[in-house]
Amino acid sequence: METLRGRHAVVTGASRGIGLAIARALRAHGARVTLMAREARVLEAAAAEFGGETAWQTVDVTDAEGVAAAFARAGAVDILVNNAGQAASAPFGRTDAALWQRMLDVNLTGAYHCMQAALPGMLDAGWGRVVNVASTAGLTGYRYVAAYCAAKHGLVGLTRALALEVATRGVTVNAVCPGFTDTDIVADAVANIVRKTGRTADEARAGLAAGNPQGRLVRPDEVAHAVAWLCMPGAAALNGQAIAVAGGEVM
């Protein structure tokens, strides 16, 4: 059912993985989608999947002026999915100020920039959906990713605070919190584990999947379905929630 026909969605970090899966899901429900990410070549290839009917723009979400310009070009936004993110690991003692700041800039401040750009139009229209792709790292702690955890906890807090501010204005703000998902970020994590521990790639993937009570990695389309559900007209009472998509890892 095309329950989102006539709605314009912007998805950041949309060139691959969870972001591209979200774009597919929103398109399947009738939304017009604009893809945003940093790499033009990969974005163009992603947009081509939709037969030339999907707009795309390069943007670095850490650049406030660049974000404002990209959203001005995109036009009025009904649905904003803040999916752009990075994960870098290091023991806390080797987490320098540059790594700390980069995790905050990409995973937290980038979402802030995009919400600042999209929210006024939603409030004027009296309808909008903001979905922030956080992580189970925004709900619990993990070793060796203190900066990433701090940023994702901040994103969940921002979600809840903004949800209360706009609760009477027809706009909802929610977060989805995937566990380890079969994406490039997890592939990078597997490679890092292999390099540092000597385990095989299969052993490293199994170790990451072991935290999920279902014993597997989450699929990007499973996260996308949760995001799309939060964007539906019938999800108007869902506000300020941080929904774990992790097989029961976090309850």
CATH number for the domain harbouring residue 44: 3.40.50.720
Please identify which of the residues 112, 142, 144, 148 carries the catalytic annotation: 148
Query: What is the structure's pLDDT at 150?
Result: 98
Amino acid code (one letter) for 141: G
- Give the pLDDT confidence score for residue 38 in this predicted structure: 96
Say what the alpha-carbon torsion angle 238, 10, 233, 107 is, to the nearest 10 degrees: -10
Residues 52 and 108 in one domain: yes
148 belongs to the catalytic site = yes
- Judge if pTM exceeds 0.85: yes
Same domain, 189 and 130: no
- Same domain, residue pair 128 and 195: no
d(CA 14, CA 202): 27
For residues 124 and 73, membership in a common domain is answered with yes
Question: Exposure pattern of 183-195 as b/e (b: 16+ CB <10 Å)?
Answer: bebbeebbeebbe
Structure tokens at 203: 């052993």
Identify whether residues 138 and 18 lie together within a single domain.
yes
What is the count of structural domains for the chain? Answer: 2
Reported confidence tier of residue 1, pLDDT bands at 50, 70, 90:
low
Check whether residue 85 and residue 74 sit in a common domain. Answer: yes
**Domain check: are 106 and 191 in the same one?**
no
pLDDT in tens, 81-123: 999 999 999 999 999 999 999 999 999 999 999 999 999 999 9
Query: Rounded to the nearest 5 degrees, what angle is found at the Cα of 177, between the Cα atoms of 151 and 94?
Result: 35
Tell me, yes or no, whether 191 and 122 share the same domain. Answer: no
Q: Domain residues for 206?
A: 182-217
Residue 131 in domain: yes
